[in-house]
Amino acid sequence: MKSIFFCTAFLLVVAATNACAATNYYFFCDSCSTEQNYRDYGVANTPQAAGQDLVDIYNRTSHIGYHINITREYDNELHRYHTIITSSAFTTAQNAQYNATIQLFSAGKFPVEIGEYPSPGSGYMPGTESFGSSTPEAIGSVVSRTLGVLGVLRTLGAWELVKEMFGVYPTAVVLFPNGDVAMYTVVNPAGGSLSVVYQAGTSRNANGDPLDPPAHGGNYVHGGTSDGQGHFNNRVDLLPGGLSYLSCSYVLHDDGSKTLIGCYQY
């Protein structure tokens, strides 16, 4: 089992209980400009003890990061540590992932559509027509897939580092095919039943009417079926200012025509 704890200066440490395992560290260093700066920062901010440390350091200003591998071995004759350091720059994609993650947290909310997966040809999530099996685990899985499409980091350590910077997790505004909307706090970008937490009081139907308890028992996971004329769809647009969304629901008929149900802002 791994334990997670925070240190100063936006540092996240993920330490394994196995003493032989490497320890992962995540830092922001906005003053680091050269590779040597990153190496020095990594050495200075990790424990001076025998073992291997895998350090990711990202500069939020230059949008450049480095992986630092630090191995410390104790010399019994000289009574000091011998340090071996290797480093490599983040790829362009890795730098972009950190930047996209920071922008996501800055926006605070992002839309997630339940239905067809982001990857073409992979079909529909089981139960989305009737919502009988849209569990928090399934919702978390689709949220994770959406984050991947958005180019966001799905490494828990880096995710927690950015969360420490902003103080709060981002919110997934989840749109169901029957027109319902519910909001979830994303605590783990990797997906699964514990990756999202429903925000009480946020579930609405296609008309914006509350769907909270007693009807749904306090943990919204499904919203019933459509009215038989077709199925509901949602469109969400980011409004000016970047913090509000407009949800419009409509019935799609067999002949391809649409009947608008209504729109509401949240």
Q: What is the value of pTM for the model shown? A: 0.71
Spatial distance between the Cα atoms of 43 and 75, rounded to a whole number of angstroms:
18
pLDDT tens column, 47-67: 988 899 999 999 999 999 999
Q: Where are the beta strands (DSSP E) in 76-203?
A: 80-89, 109-113, 171-175, 181-186, 196-198
pLDDT tens column, 131-187: 333 567 778 888 898 899 889 999 999 999 999 999 999 998 887 766 677 788 999
Taking alpha carbons only, the member of 196, 194, 172 closest to residue 183 is: 172
Task: Determine how many CB atoms are found less than 10 A away from the CB of residue 132.
Answer: 13
Token digits for 104? 């996501």
Paired with 247 in beta bridges are: 236, 264
pLDDT at position 109 is 86
In the chain, domain spans: 2-90, 108-265
Token digits for 14? 């993920």
pLDDT at position 181 is 75
What letter does residue 141 receive in the DSSP assignment?
Answer: H
Q: Which pLDDT tens digits describe the chain residue by residue (266 residues)?
A: 232 333 334 555 554 434 457 899 999 999 999 999 999 999 999 998 889 999 999 999 999 999 999 999 988 888 888 899 999 999 999 999 999 999 999 988 887 777 533 333 333 343 333 333 356 777 888 889 889 988 999 999 999 999 999 999 999 888 776 667 778 899 999 987 789 988 877 777 766 777 654 343 344 443 333 343 333 334 444 444 544 445 555 555 667 665 555 455 55
pLDDT at position 78 is 81
